[in-house]
Chain A
Amino acid sequence: MKGKATDYLVLDQATGTYHENPEQMVRDDVEKHYWLNVGRAIAKDWRLYVMMVPMLLVFLFWRYFPMYELLGCFKVSDTVLPVSEQLFCGVSYFKRLLVGGDSLSANFWMAMRNTFLLSFYGLCFGFPMPIILALFFNEIRSNAARSVYQVMTYLPKFMSTVVMTSLVTMLVKQGSIIGQMGIVSQALVKLGLITEEVGNAGLLNNPGFFRAIYQISGIWESAGYDSIVFFAAIIAISPTSYEAAQIDGAGKMAQMRYVVIPCMLSTIVIMLITRIGSLLNIGYEKVLLLYNTKTYVTADVISTLAYRTGLSGGAGTGIASAAEMMNNVVGMLLVIGANTIARKASNTSLY
Chain B
Amino acid sequence: MKRKLEISELIFKIISYFLLTVFALMCLYPFVYAVSASISGRHAVEYSEVILFPKDVQFEAFSMMFGNNMFWNAYSNTLFLTLYGTVWALGVSIFGAYALSKKRLLFRKFFNFFLVFTMWFSAGIVPQYLNYLDTQKVFRSVGIMDDKWLVVIAMGMAAMNIILLRNAFENVPSEIEEAAIVDGATEFQILNQVYIPMSKSTIATVALFFAISRWNGYFWARQMISNQNEHPLQVFIRLQLEQYTDPEQMAGWNRAYASDSVIYALIVCSIVPILIIYPFIQKYFAKGTNVGGVKE
Query: Measuring CB to CB, which residues of chain A are less than 8 angstroms from any residue of chain B?
Result: 38, 41-42, 45, 47-49, 51-52, 54-56, 58-59, 61-67, 69-70, 72, 79, 133, 135-137, 139-140, 149, 152-156, 158-163, 166-167, 169-171, 173, 176-181, 183, 186, 220, 223-226, 228-229, 232, 246, 251-253, 256, 270, 281, 284-285, 288-289, 303, 306-307, 310-311, 317, 320-321, 324-325, 327-329, 331-332, 335-336, 347-351
Contact = CB atoms under 8 A, between A and B. Distances in A.
Interface magnitude class on chain B: 35 or more
A54 B251 contact: no
A139 B99 contact: no
B112 to A, nearest CB: 9
Interface in B31-85: 31, 33-34, 45-48, 50-51
A224 B219 contact: no
Q: Which of B91, B115, B241 has the most CB of A within 10 A?
A: B241
Contacts of A317: 126, 130
A228 B98 contact: no
A51 B98 contact: yes
A328 B289 contact: no
24 contacts: A48-B104, A49-B105, A51-B96, A52-B99, A54-B92, A54-B96, A56-B114, A58-B92, A63-B122, A66-B127, A70-B127, A136-B20, A139-B16, A153-B24, A158-B274, A161-B218, A167-B34, A170-B34, A232-B290, A311-B223, A320-B126, A329-B121, A347-B296, A349-B296
> Majority SS of interface residues in chain A?
helix
Contact of B263 (A156, A170, A226, A332): A170
B184 to A, nearest CB: 14
B207 interface: no
Given A70-B127, A155-B31, A170-B264, A52 B96 contact: yes
Contacts of A288: 219
A198 B239 CA distance: 26
B124 A224 contact: no
Contacts of B275: 158
A303 B294 contact: no
B116 A351 contact: yes
Contacts, number: 283
A66 B131 contact: yes
A162 B237 contact: yes
Nearest to A186: B48
Given A59-B115, A61-B154, A251-B8, A176 B16 contact: no
B127 A67 contact: yes
A155 B123 CA distance: 33
A58 B48 contact: no
B120 interface: yes
A303 B124 contact: yes
B241 A56 contact: no
A56 B188 CA distance: 19
B75 to A, nearest CB: 13
B46 A179 contact: yes
Interface string B79-113: 00000000000011101101110101110000100
